[in-house]
Structure 1
Amino acid sequence: MKKNFFKNSFGNEILFSKKEYLDRVKKVKLKMSKNNIDVLLVASPANQFYLTGYDGWSFYTPQMVLISLSEKYPYWIGRKMDAVGAKFTAFLDKNNIVPYPDHYVASQKIHPMDYLVDFIKSKKLERKNIGVEMDDYYYTAKWHDILIKGLPNAKFLNAFLLVNWVRMIKSSQELTYMKSAGKIANLAMKKAMEKVDVGVRQCDVIAELNRYTTMGTNEIGGTFTCKPPNAMVGKFCSAPHLSWTEEKLKKNEIFYIEMGGAKHRYHVPLARCIFTGRAPKKIKELSKIIREGLNGVLNKVKPGVTGHELENTWKKIISKYGVKKDSRIGYPIGIGYPPTWGELTTSFRKGDKNILKENMTFHCIPALWLQNYGIVISESFIVTKKGAQRFTNYEQKLFDLKDFQ
């Protein structure tokens, strides 16, 4: 992978150019203006990363990015020891990296939001319309309570997903990172499935998968993903979000794996199943139906179609075989921080009229979770003028042991 050579004001290499970051901020400001928001407080680590480049495992303590319509650059406000990390990863200069003292951390008397209240007052923004990410995982009830009590003359507005919608259309540099993540996902899935055998512990298979998502390929180094794989065996495959155990694999079981490759926080998910023996005809036929439906959806993808249309394409195909599915079959992907690589904005489901646009990226996962087992074949892709462009090239099938022997 070609190394980037963008540098911030501290001389440190960063992931995107200053121009790209400022273009992102400009797009967010346009949405702020349309929603009558003067000041935006960004709690989501994924959105903070998108707007500033800041990337550290520091979101277990309060931190915030502040964007004001009256200022060109955002402010990153966080713990003093983590301000050093901002100098290494963010595009901001020192005046826009605002550290709060460590005595605010885990204190029963004062809170980092008290510091933020004082900062907002120092900028004469305490009477403005302030947008906050009300439903974000990282914006707590206590944070909101401190802010509204500390800023009684401000009007607080819900700005949840405001930045997420801007993030959906990817730049060429973002797509480069996602294509790298796809190559890592491809390799890691292959190595995990090669490890599968009767008598092998489930955890050893996932250890092999994690080894390759971290190590990457010979050309592309990997890193940690924002969430562990969903990995279920046998009857547990009927539940979509469980984890592996230390149990040894038995003959004639399905091993269901949904995982992701990551490059610079950009994620590409991939899901496949392997059968530890000779799969029954019924299960083989079901996997073929899923593959047919998946590719019907991918063939339908183009700028201008909606999630509703894609789900309807899937439904028409599977209904020919008497198969039903009542959950969504896809969602947008990109930057991932715990607990998700999903962008939370739209879905491939009945009634979703949001329009797909060029350079949006999605994970189509038309899995079927039945009473005694589950089957999945998924694809992550880019929306292009010509249709869906896959991030991986992993074979679409229900695998069995003989495929790797």
Structure 2
Amino acid sequence: MRKELHFEKGEFQARLSAVKTAMEKRGIDVLMISEPPNMNYLTGYDAYSYYVPQFVIVSLKHEQPVWIGRFMDRVSAVMTTYLDDQNVHAYEDKYVHSATLSAFDVIAQTVRDLGGEKACIGVELGGYYYSAKAHADLIRALPEARFVDADLLVNWIRVVKSPAELALMRQAGAIADAMMQRAIDVAAPGVRECDIAAAVYYQMAAGTAEFGGSYGCAPPFLCVAERAVAPHAAWTDKPLPKSTTLNLELFGNRLRYQVNLSRSIAVGPPSPAFQNLADVAVEAMNAALDHVRPGLTCSEVESVFRRSLARHGLEKEARLGYSIGLGYPPGAVERTASLRKGDETVLQPGMCFHMMPGLWLDDVGIAITQSFAVTETGHEPLSSTPRKLFVK
């Protein structure tokens, strides 16, 4: 069966080595990874199967990780990972959504086979796909083991992207640009919001002429008219009026690497006040971007934006941005570094962020953003859509 690997085997081995080093520092013998992006990062595994129990298990005593999941997804694990066949395990379908059987009994047996019966086992307690029942069933099935929280252990390792990962982030950014241009082209009085969403979805999958796209970690957000003050509103089937505003947040995804992109569109001439708000937001964002460089902290970058905004009598309560990269639903946010006051994470080349200086005030909202990678000397924009208010 042909392997569908997007990185060299040596890159996967380097990632695994970094994870094992982090495990040793924490005294963790076995790491049970439930988060889909972390499973992908360490093995390449990619399938829409994360709604049932599945893990990548890393043991300090075992050369390769072990994947275990539903039997019908085993073929995807063989196809998309670099793992040897003997390190791809599966449980029977009778364990899926059963009221009497638990897949975690089979998973626990795999842990025992890896020497983890009495081990210190790390689990991702804060993960989206590690439930309270999963934890309870594993504790019951492995009563002599000691469980510790290893949430974000892998996330903090993958926060710095390799050159091969950055290449995919650039492609994801190009897809995001194509999606946004499609939305701008389609938006016009009388066009239904759902038709704009449909055009965006088409472009999300079609990508560019050079490479196709994939499904995003979240649906596109089309915040129209009175819903423009809500950051994550859904579209409706209403036609656009002759004069309105749209805030769009779109997601270009290339082989699970995602770049976020937001722009505001004015249908009809914008008011001077709205145009001024857009100019102020862009000015503050550009000031913060110009300040990005290795060695500074996330907090220091955010402070530049905050001071620029304050000169106009405005403030932003939410964080200015967050780390992005490899992702699956419900979010590409890596849950690590944030561009916010008090975050002392030091910027390093290869880190990627979505700078999101969205302003949602009582009666108006503006969303003009920029995803970027930290470079040796500053930053590299990951998308090229002009940072401005678009007027139709």
The share of aligned pairs that are identical, in percent, is 41
Within 5 Å, give how 1:355-366 maps onto structure 2.
Answer: 355-366=346-357
1:335 counterpart SS class: coil
What's the CA shift for 1:239? 1.1
Residues 236 and 373 in structure 1, CA contact (< 8 A), matched pair in contact too:
no
Look up the match of 2:8. Answer: 17
Q: Deviations over 1:244-290 (max 9, x none)?
A: 11111012211100011011000011100101111001110110011
What's the CA shift for 1:13? 3.1
Look up the match of 1:251. Answer: 242
Look up the match of 1:350. Answer: 341
| Residue 371 (structure 2) aligned to one of 380, 385, 389 | 380
Look up the match of 2:37. Answer: 46
What CA distance in whole angstroms lies between the structure 1 residues aligned with 2:106 and 2:52? 13
Look up the match of 1:328. Answer: 319
What CA distance in whole angstroms lies between the structure 1 residues aligned with 2:66 and 2:22? 18
What CA distance in whole angstroms lies between the structure 2 residues aligned with 1:123 and 1:201? 56
Within 5 Å, give how 1:212-227 maps onto structure 2.
Answer: 212-227=203-218
- Are positions 1:139 and 2:126 aligned together? no
Residues 55 and 68 in structure 2, CA contact (< 8 A), matched pair in contact too:
yes
Residues 3 and 82 in structure 2, CA contact (< 8 A), matched pair in contact too:
no
Q: Deviations over 1:286-325 (max 9, x none)?
A: 1001101111111111111111111110010010000111
2:339 counterpart SS class: coil
Per the normalisation by structure 1, the TM-score is: 0.95
What's the CA shift for 1:11? 3.8
What CA distance in whole angstroms lies between the structure 1 residues aligned with 2:114 and 2:338? 39
Unmatched segments (≥5 aa) in structure 2: none
1:220 counterpart SS class: coil
What's the CA shift for 1:206? 1.2
What's the CA shift for 1:118? 1.6
Unmatched segments (≥5 aa) in structure 1: 1-9
Report the count of equivalent residues.
Answer: 392
- Are positions 1:26 and 2:17 aligned together? yes
Letter in 2 for 1:102: D
What CA distance in whole angstroms lies between the structure 2 residues aligned with 1:206 and 1:224? 13
Within 5 Å, give how 1:6-405 maps onto structure 2.
Answer: 10-401=1-392
What CA distance in whole angstroms lies between the structure 1 residues aligned with 2:199 and 2:114? 51
What CA distance in whole angstroms lies between the structure 2 residues aligned with 1:43 and 1:105? 16
What CA distance in whole angstroms lies between the structure 2 residues aligned with 1:87 and 1:269? 31
What CA distance in whole angstroms lies between the structure 1 residues aligned with 2:390 and 2:111? 57
What's the CA shift for 1:226? 1.6
What CA distance in whole angstroms lies between the structure 2 residues aligned with 1:34 and 1:367? 39
What CA distance in whole angstroms lies between the structure 2 residues aligned with 1:52 and 1:249? 45
Per the normalisation by structure 2, the TM-score is: 0.99
What's the CA shift for 1:101? 1.2
